[in-house]
A and B are shown apart, each in its own frame.
Chain A
Amino acid sequence: MPKGFYSILIALTALTLIGATVVWGQSGESEPPRAVREAPGEFQFVRLAYTANRYGQGNWRRQMWQTDWPDAEHHFLKGISRLTRVAAAEQGRILTPLDQSIYDFPWIYAVEVGYWHLNTQEAARLRDYLLRGGFLMVDDFHGAWEWSSFVASMQRVFPDRPIVDIPEDDEAFHVIYDLDHRIQIPSRMYTYTGQTWEKGGKTPHWRGIYDDEGRLMVSINFNMDIGDAWEHADWPDYPENMTALAYRFGINYLIYAMTH
């Protein structure tokens, strides 16, 4: 064998493996950058990249907080632009709770919060953010276990504020659309199973946390999957009425946050 043959072979093999990994990793949906380049607009959809518990670590391709990304916000932003006068940026953005620029975006969205695990620092930041006037919409978590996991972190944020059911007459349900007739918004699995609930979460609950002036700071959409309805808005199989309701909820929460 020529001198150095084995060295070259090992090097080529390593390069091949690395290249395959890269190519394979890029198949389907690509890895999201941590921070999307700033786009102009009064409103920009911000997805919260939280710290997850050990069950919510996801995999090297996708984290739990990335669920439905990017189509959910992509579709939702188009709906905002079409149905409201909000000057919405075309692109969403991803921020962690500790990202200082989070204060520039008074409305944020967090998904699969049954798997979040906010540490003390993140909880303090979120508390400060909300008390200054920020608004948090959480979505897509189901069943008792995920509820308890969510509450554990939420109580680190607001140990002294209760989580209550949003009253029927709250402006959040009427600011643009009257959401008197609400149904459970399921994930796309509904199109396969015909079942609107998952993980034991049969009853949808719209809950919230209020500030001292009676303004909703956190909208908690438990036992439903609004994000999936946005994401699959262009799926023929996903029920239109559920998609429409999901848009209405999102728009109501946004307009509420921009008026209260």
Chain B
Amino acid sequence: MFEFLFNYPRDDYARSELIYAGDWPLWLLVLLSTAAIAGISWFLYQRRSVVRPPQMMTVWVLQIAMLALVIWILQQPTLSTEQLRAGENAVAFVLDISESMAYGESESRLQQAMRSLSTSLAEDSSLELAVQHYELSDRARPVDSFLDTEPSGTETSIAASLTDVLREARFNPLAAIVLSSDGADTRGGLSPADLAELAGFGVPIHTIAVGRESIPEDIELTDVLLPNKVLPGSTITARVSIRHDDAANTRIKVYNGDALLESLPVELRQDTRSTTAWVNIELAEAGHHHLRFSLDGIPGEQELRNNSRSTLVEVADQEYRILYFEGEPRWEYKFMRRALAGDEDLKIVSLLRVSPNKYYRQGIDSPEQLENGFPATRDELFSYDALIIGSVEAASLSGEQQKIIHDFVSERGGSLLMIAGPNGLGNGGWGQSQIADVLPVRLPPSTTNSFFRKKAAVVLTPQGADDQMLRLADTTDANRQSWNELPEVADYQVTGGLKPAAVTLLNVMTDVGLLPLLVKQPFGRGHSYILATGGTWRWQMSMPVENQSHETFWRQLLRALVASAPNSVSLTASGDAGSTEISLRSEFRDDAFRPVNDIAVTAVVTHQDGDSWEVELAPSVDEPGVFQANITPTASGTWYFEAVAERNGEPIDVARASIHYESGQAEYFNFRRDSRALQRLSEATGGRYLELDELDALPDLLRYSSSGITETDYRPIWDAPAVFLLLLLLKGGEWMLRRRWSTI
């Protein structure tokens, strides 16, 4: 109907510009209009005795509208449309050939994509477009045709590949890019910066989506989160995330090498697309452990390679040292030490002020250790991995000692835990000390008592439920129940407001409501914690001796404190699943944890099969003491790295790391169709997103592309039937009104 009335389709009007082809001078038009309006007005005024004012106004409006329409017609309104000039433009067909495109049932995604590209221009060859073919995976590669194409790409990088195409076609009249893909990108997807860069080329990218967004017959092990370094005898809780599009039952199995460690049934509910399960693993022996997590396949599942992930965990046989500075004898001190008595990896060195003039030291290695009280030098304090400060006033330490504590967290990367007490936290004036900004809370002033010897119940927060440090039981529900069943603590202390980076892991229920009890935050290279009670000892005394909740709490809390503290020398190896490179990052600091730069660092890279070579690590421009390099592994498996620092040719220090690397795995994960990414790509570049049943629109999209060599097509619209009908309507309507009013 639209095209009948207006001569051309709606889309033509949308993509065209309205111009006026008439050459009447403006002054003449104005003169004629003014004269006509004046004449009509005078004529109607002369007949004012016959026509009432409302009727006169109505006729006046109709006649002026008619006049306007005539003047509009005289201006010859025309549609100006840019369209490709036939035979002088090219279009790039880009076909995603990554391995995810091999997925499908009766027809693979790749076959769907190939068919879509081959048929898209079949019915309209008027444009005479030169078609360039590209295969897309990690980069784009030009090919003569798609006849021999196989889904062989081990990675997908849409942004990098399209950029390759656009750069190659920079000096050619490229009208558009037509990309046929499932949108599954293994390099992190299309960032706003990527989209902006692609849009800057000015070439529209039309996307044809293949594949399904929902694959009920597939489940995927999306992520396994667990610490990569633990202490011997630790119970590690791995957080396993599973993606699913329907309800199902599966089982998580954890292998250490060939040995099955754990097998846990998991129910995947229909009301959610992601399920998280917690798996407890015990690794007793020191060394590197290759852990493989796998899911049992569900009925009908084709792709099983995304049901398995591997990771490497280092069980570090290292003794961690914690300094505990306490201002008064109290039960929390006793029971904390008892809780850690059997832990061979944690050494608690404590300095307890038992009387105004006497300190009692425990856990010391020699009579000289701490004989002068709290450490007064960086070297002395930095030799510890964590620091606990109890019920002691800030004024008991000098300004320099407080500064050292500040640096202990920010520079050394140590962990600081402050425990409540009648002379601790706010009561001790720590909120006005030099370490106030280290703390995760804004402590109240010391002029107001904030410590209360009242029993109070502890409440686990959602963040605390997710934190492995606070796991008292194997399952989420059992863990929550364990916390609910704990006896009240003996006291609590008001901490004040939380800082932006603070996370509350435990609350305490007081007579004024819930207050933070265990809070932590990162600070500099380290972490700070507040435990707003000195009364967890009631858990030990109020529960049967067999109950290990109190011991477990303190062991896990203190292990978390020391595990996050870096050594003065460190080496990390990182690489995403499917990535072709492994990044090495080493950091060398002296005993005072100051960066060391006057060294040369070389890493020995060794595969589990024995292949080995050396690579030099370059100093970082931005971070003193940091040396980095990227290496390309030649095979899957476990890779070991040893970074040796040398000064004047003499080795001074060594750091070690390892990683389990698996090449070509990325395409098996996250291979559901990402329609949203393709839509964003098209919108950003002026293209259009198409489903397989919308390919009819592609020829016109190409024809009227804004890129390439174009020509302007002019089409008049003054002779459209709609214009004639409007003229008829205006004049006919006036005539009918006049007859009705008996003025004719």
Q: Which of A86-110 contact B (CB under 8 A)?
A: 86-87, 103-104, 106
The reply to whether B333 and A87 form a contact with Cβ atoms under 8 Å apart is: no
Known pairs A132-B541, A259-B362; A176 contacts B354 (CB<8 A): yes
Produce 1/0 per residue, B331-342, CB < 8 A to A.
101110110010
The reply to whether B422 and A259 form a contact with Cβ atoms under 8 Å apart is: no
Query: Measured between C-beta atoms, what is the minimum distance from B391 to chain A in Å?
Result: 9
B541 is contacted by which of A134, A175, A213, A215 (Cβ under 8 Å)? A134
The reply to whether B362 and A258 form a contact with Cβ atoms under 8 Å apart is: no
Most buried by B among A86, A255, A259: A259
The reply to whether B355 and A104 form a contact with Cβ atoms under 8 Å apart is: no
Q: Which residues of A contact B327 (CB under 8 A)?
A: 85
Q: Which of B320-361 contact A (CB under 8 A)?
A: 327-331, 333-335, 337-338, 341, 352-356, 358, 360
Bound-complex Cα distance A255 to B355 (A): 10
| Smallest CB gap from A40: residue in B | B453
Count of chain B residues with a beta carbon within 8 Å of a chain A beta carbon: 30
B655 close to A (CB within 8 Å): no
A160 close to B (CB within 8 Å): no
The reply to whether B360 and A255 form a contact with Cβ atoms under 8 Å apart is: yes
Produce 1/0 per residue, A170-182, CB < 8 A to B.
0000011000000
Query: Measured between C-beta atoms, what is the minimum distance from A229 to chain B in Å?
Result: 20
A83 close to B (CB within 8 Å): yes
Bound-complex Cα distance A86 to B337 (A): 18
| Smallest CB gap from A89: residue in B | B453
Q: Which residues of B contact A213 (CB under 8 A)?
A: 338, 341
Count of chain A residues with a beta carbon within 8 Å of a chain B beta carbon: 26
B538 close to A (CB within 8 Å): yes
A85 is contacted by which of B334, B354, B541 (Cβ under 8 Å)? B354
A245 close to B (CB within 8 Å): no
Bound-complex Cα distance A255 to B545 (A): 23
B490 close to A (CB within 8 Å): yes
The reply to whether B490 and A104 form a contact with Cβ atoms under 8 Å apart is: yes
The reply to whether A87 and B328 form a contact with Cβ atoms under 8 Å apart is: yes
- The main secondary structure of chain B at its interface with chain A is mixed
Query: Measured between C-beta atoms, what is the minimum distance from B388 to chain A in Å?
Result: 15
Bound-complex Cα distance A84 to B543 (A): 30
The reply to whether A258 and B333 form a contact with Cβ atoms under 8 Å apart is: yes
A84 is contacted by which of B335, B355, B537 (Cβ under 8 Å)? B355
B540 close to A (CB within 8 Å): yes
The reply to whether A133 and B328 form a contact with Cβ atoms under 8 Å apart is: no
| Smallest CB gap from A134: residue in B | B541
The reply to whether B333 and A85 form a contact with Cβ atoms under 8 Å apart is: no
| Smallest CB gap from B490: residue in A | A104
Q: Which residues of A contact B341 (CB under 8 A)?
A: 213
Known pairs A259-B337, A260-B334; A86 contacts B540 (CB<8 A): no
Known pairs A258-B333, A259-B337; A85 contacts B328 (CB<8 A): yes
A14 close to B (CB within 8 Å): no
The reply to whether B538 and A133 form a contact with Cβ atoms under 8 Å apart is: no
The reply to whether B540 and A85 form a contact with Cβ atoms under 8 Å apart is: no
Q: Which residues of A contact B453 (CB under 8 A)?
A: 40-42
The reply to whether B538 and A104 form a contact with Cβ atoms under 8 Å apart is: yes
Q: Which residues of A contact B355 (CB under 8 A)?
A: 83-85, 176
The reply to whether B360 and A175 form a contact with Cβ atoms under 8 Å apart is: yes
Q: Which residues of B contact A132 (CB under 8 A)?
A: 540-541, 543-545
Bound-complex Cα distance A255 to B540 (A): 19
Bound-complex Cα distance A203 to B310 (A): 70
| Smallest CB gap from A131: residue in B | B545
Q: Which residues of A contact B335 (CB under 8 A)?
A: 133
The reply to whether A258 and B330 form a contact with Cβ atoms under 8 Å apart is: yes
- The main secondary structure of chain A at its interface with chain B is loop
Query: Measured between C-beta atoms, what is the minimum distance from A116 to chain B in Å?
Result: 23
Query: Measured between C-beta atoms, what is the minimum distance from B492 to chain A in Å?
Result: 14
Q: Which of A142-192 contact B (CB under 8 A)?
A: 175-176
Produce 1/0 per residue, A206-219, CB < 8 A to B.
00000001010000
| Smallest CB gap from B334: residue in A | A258
B214 close to A (CB within 8 Å): no
The reply to whether A258 and B329 form a contact with Cβ atoms under 8 Å apart is: yes
Produce 1/0 per residue, B532-552, CB < 8 A to A.
000001101111110000000
The reply to whether A87 and B330 form a contact with Cβ atoms under 8 Å apart is: yes
Query: Measured between C-beta atoms, what is the minimum distance from A212 to chain B in Å?
Result: 10
The reply to whether A133 and B334 form a contact with Cβ atoms under 8 Å apart is: yes
The reply to whether A176 and B334 form a contact with Cβ atoms under 8 Å apart is: no
Bound-complex Cα distance A248 to B733 (A): 118
Query: Measured between C-beta atoms, what is the minimum distance from B456 to chain A in Å?
Result: 14
Bound-complex Cα distance A64 to B355 (A): 34
Q: Which residues of B contact A133 (CB under 8 A)?
A: 334-335, 338, 537, 540-541
Bound-complex Cα distance A86 to B354 (A): 7
Q: Which residues of A contact B540 (CB under 8 A)?
A: 132-133
| Smallest CB gap from A215: residue in B | B338
| Smallest CB gap from A175: residue in B | B360
| Smallest CB gap from A84: residue in B | B355
Q: Which residues of B contact A84 (CB under 8 A)?
A: 329, 354-355
Q: Which residues of A contact B334 (CB under 8 A)?
A: 106, 133, 257-260
Q: Which of B508-542 contact A (CB under 8 A)?
A: 537-538, 540-542
Known pairs A87-B422, A134-B541; A42 contacts B331 (CB<8 A): yes
Q: Which residues of A contact B356 (CB under 8 A)?
A: 85
Q: Which residues of B contact A234 (CB under 8 A)?
A: none
B331 is contacted by which of A128, A131, A175, A258 (Cβ under 8 Å)? A258
Q: Which residues of A contact B330 (CB under 8 A)?
A: 42, 86-87, 258
Query: Measured between C-beta atoms, what is the minimum distance from A211 to chain B in Å?
Result: 10
Q: Which residues of A contact B545 (CB under 8 A)?
A: 128, 131-132
Bound-complex Cα distance A84 to B326 (A): 13
| Smallest CB gap from B338: residue in A | A133
The reply to whether A255 and B329 form a contact with Cβ atoms under 8 Å apart is: yes
Query: Measured between C-beta atoms, what is the minimum distance from B546 to chain A in Å?
Result: 10
| Smallest CB gap from A174: residue in B | B360
The reply to whether A106 and B333 form a contact with Cβ atoms under 8 Å apart is: no
Q: Which residues of B contact A258 (CB under 8 A)?
A: 329-331, 333-334
The reply to whether B337 and A103 form a contact with Cβ atoms under 8 Å apart is: no
Known pairs A42-B328, A86-B329, A259-B329; A103 contacts B541 (CB<8 A): yes
| Smallest CB gap from B335: residue in A | A133
| Smallest CB gap from B330: residue in A | A42
| Smallest CB gap from A105: residue in B | B541
Bound-complex Cα distance A85 to B333 (A): 13
The reply to whether A104 and B541 form a contact with Cβ atoms under 8 Å apart is: yes
Bound-complex Cα distance A163 to B377 (A): 46
The reply to whether A259 and B537 form a contact with Cβ atoms under 8 Å apart is: no
Q: Which residues of A contact B352 (CB under 8 A)?
A: 259
Q: Which residues of A contact B542 (CB under 8 A)?
A: 103-104
Q: Which residues of B contact A128 (CB under 8 A)?
A: 544-545
Q: Which residues of B contact A257 (CB under 8 A)?
A: 334
Bound-complex Cα distance A87 to B354 (A): 11
The reply to whether A106 and B541 form a contact with Cβ atoms under 8 Å apart is: yes
Q: Which residues of B contact A85 (CB under 8 A)?
A: 327-329, 353-356
| Smallest CB gap from B547: residue in A | A132
The reply to whether B338 and A255 form a contact with Cβ atoms under 8 Å apart is: no
Q: Which of B399-437 contact A (CB under 8 A)?
A: 422
Q: Which residues of B contact A255 (CB under 8 A)?
A: 329, 354, 360
8 further interface pairs, Cβ-Cβ under 8 Å (given A85-B327, A85-B355): A41-B453, A103-B541, A103-B542, A106-B331, A132-B540, A132-B543, A175-B354, A254-B329
Minimum-distance CB pairs A-B, first 4: A85-B328, A258-B329, A103-B541, A131-B545
24 contacts between A and B (CB under 8 A): A42-B453, A83-B355, A84-B354, A85-B353, A85-B355, A103-B541, A106-B331, A106-B334, A106-B537, A128-B544, A132-B540, A132-B541, A132-B545, A133-B338, A133-B541, A134-B541, A175-B360, A254-B329, A257-B334, A258-B329, A259-B333, A259-B360, A259-B362, A260-B334
Q: Chain A interface (Cβ within 8 Å of chain B)? A: 40-42, 83-87, 103-104, 106, 128, 131-134, 175-176, 213, 215, 254-255, 257-260
